[in-house]
Amino acid sequence: MGPAAGSTTRRRITALAATGAVVAALAAGSPAAAGTPTAVPVKSPVAVGYGGAVSSVDANASAVGIDVLRHGGNAVDAAVATAAALGVTEPYSAGIGGGGYLVYYDARTHRISTIDGRETAPHTANSGLFLENGKPLPFDQAVTSGLSVGAPGTPATWQAALDRWGTRSLAQSLAPAERLAEQGFTVDKTFRQQTADNQARFADFPATAKLFLPGGKPPEVGSTFTNPDLGRTYRELARRGLGALYRGDIGADIVNTVRKPPVSPTATRRVRPGRLSAADLAAYAVRYRQPTHVTYRGRDVYGIAPSSSGGTTMGEALNILQRYDLSGMSPAQYLHHFIEASRIAFADRGRWVGDPAYVNVPTRGLTSQRFADSRACLIKPGAVLSSPLPPGDPRHPSSGCAHGGAPVPTTYEGQNTTNLTVADRWGDVVEYTLTIEQTGGSGIVVPGRGFLLNNELTDFDFTPANPAVPDPNLPGPGKRPRSSISPTIVLKDGRPDFAIGSPGGATIITTVLQVLLGHVDRGLPLVDAIAAPRASQRNAAATELEPGLYNSPLRGELEKIGHHFTLNPEIGAATGVQRLPDGRWIAAAETVRRGGGSAMVVHPAGTA
């Protein structure tokens, strides 16, 4: 399984030989066609074995990815196929109407690469995008509107990843998901509940209601949900390529829907039109960016650089925590230091991070140990920092303890997204987070196309978070809104150790950070680190706690030193993989959150 066995040429020949049989089987409608599960797969949060691994929130999607690996595809091929399947089974979290970020480890070159597939604002957008009469729109009204829709980046991300590192075509990668859309999947409690939570606004859009509210109600648990419109859209995208969306009929339908939202005549909701144009779609391009990189406990931690704040914010927090022996601390002191490091890193995120094409983001400074050291001395074992905490200046790190200035509060981000993690037999790894933002995105299905449009532009600040401080995240023409997506790959001695990612809006950063600390510092197996109850502090007066911490004695211990808490029923839904010394992979997913995740390996072999 060394680099020689993983040569690009050999992988491509193997995969092409397999995919000929796959395409033939799909064309024949064979129930055993590669990439299409023949029965409802069983969910398991952990799997161990050889040949590669896939972890996602959905068993059908994980099974699609595993079948791609089993038939010779590599990690990128499997990641794209899994993502396309999630567009079917997780349509409220992801799909071709959205965007995301992908981190890739190439076992042959031992290099980490990233793709920024974030949505972009229309070229007519300015800092007043979400203002009316000089005042910001109510957030819920901005979400459910054409104004919130950015040019999608997901299809371009798939094509870019396949072109650079894959062995399959986009058509071959879409085929299993196309069939899944047409044959359907079994509705579970999570899908029904997410539909019910959005029922009022879905009902205001005839195309959305027709798809997701059959008979005017959310689909029943155990029923089969089909999406033939999405199947046809995938088929058109497969046949005609990206041009179908960025310069063709699919794109024209997106633009028409954004500019003239198809609202029911009986709806009382005011749905504002957006400004997305055909020129905005034609101008869209992914960005290949250098990953962020910090070292932590003898490991190399790689993440996504701005326009996402994930890599810089998590990197700064890890650098702050370097100086502390977290493994030897009591649970209360460990959580205290995790919370305070998160608070500090988010204070700096809010001041400095935005789209680097529009603002000068000091990425190197934010991830430097010198800057982290100038901020870490703010942490006291028996006291709590007040929030919002003022930022430091990574361009000029203080030799003392950096504080003062005007604070920048953290603005709201929707907390629904999806994440997948894939590894292959050659040792390649993909960590990929994709999203349409809120649960259900904008709420607007493109008529006849079967997918929801994103509301990603609401990740911009509607007005400056603090008028006294320059805001790097105001809307602008063609600008990418700041994200918190944090796909992370960790190497040890130059080889994959583990990879993790999560959905959850701004809580993504704290979720991935806490899983990493739980695994590395607290010694938890990866699946247990993912399952552990979470806290999330984002430079706010109160820290959010899941019930497992909120209802525990730890909460009282932390309150005694000044912490304040609010209850959050569920934070994130992580996935990950880990490479064992003997060459086996562990795939790990949630045990309970979002109904539990789905971890699979190609050839199961023992336990960890």
Write down the H helix ranges in 71-168. 75-89, 139-143, 154-165
Please name the amino acid found at residue 415: Q
Q: What is the pLDDT of residue 15?
A: 37
Q: Are the C-beta atoms of residues 55 and 64 closer than 8 Å to each other?
A: no
Q: What angle do CA 121, 124, 125 make, to 5 degrees?
A: 50
Q: Express each pLDDT in 65-96 by its tens digit.
A: 999 999 999 999 999 999 999 999 999 999 99
What is the reported pLDDT for 21? Answer: 34
Q: Report the alpha-carbon distance of residue 14 to residue 375 in Å, rounded.
A: 51
Q: d(Cα 190, Cα 258) in Å, to the nearest integer?
A: 28
d(CA 317, CA 340): 9
User: For residue 557, what pLDDT is reported?
Assistant: 98
The residue ranges of the chain whose pLDDT is under 70 are 1-40, 399-400, 402-404, 413-415, 608
CB atoms inside a 10 Å sphere around CB 266 = 8
Per residue in 354-380, pLDDT (tens digit) is: 999 999 999 999 999 999 999 999 999
DSSP state of 151: B
Question: Which residues are catalytically annotated?
Answer: 417
185-186 and 131-132: which strand pairing? unpaired
Residue 258 corresponds to which tokens in the numbers above? 């954004």
Q: And the tokens for 573?
A: 């839904």
Each residue of 253-263: b (16+ CB within 10 Å) or e?
bbbebbeebbb
Q: What is the pLDDT of residue 4?
A: 33
Q: Are 339 and 385 in contact (CB under 8 A)?
A: no
DSSP for 295-360, please give it.
EETTEEEEEPPTTBSHHHHHHHHHHHHTTS-GGGS-HHHHHHHHHHHHHHHHHHHHHH-S-TTTS-
Residues counted in the chain? 608
Domain boundaries, the chain: 75-285+415-459
Instruction: Please tell me the predicted confidence (pLDDT) of residue 26.
Output: 31
Q: Looking at residue 493, what DSSP letter applies?
A: T
As a whole number of Å, the end-to-end CA separation of the chain is 19
pLDDT of residue 10: 32
Residue 529 DSSP SS3: helix
Closest CA to 177 of 237, 97, 220, 224: 237
- At 188 the pLDDT is 95
* CA dihedral angle for residue 23, residue 27, residue 29, residue 30, rounded to 10 degrees: -40
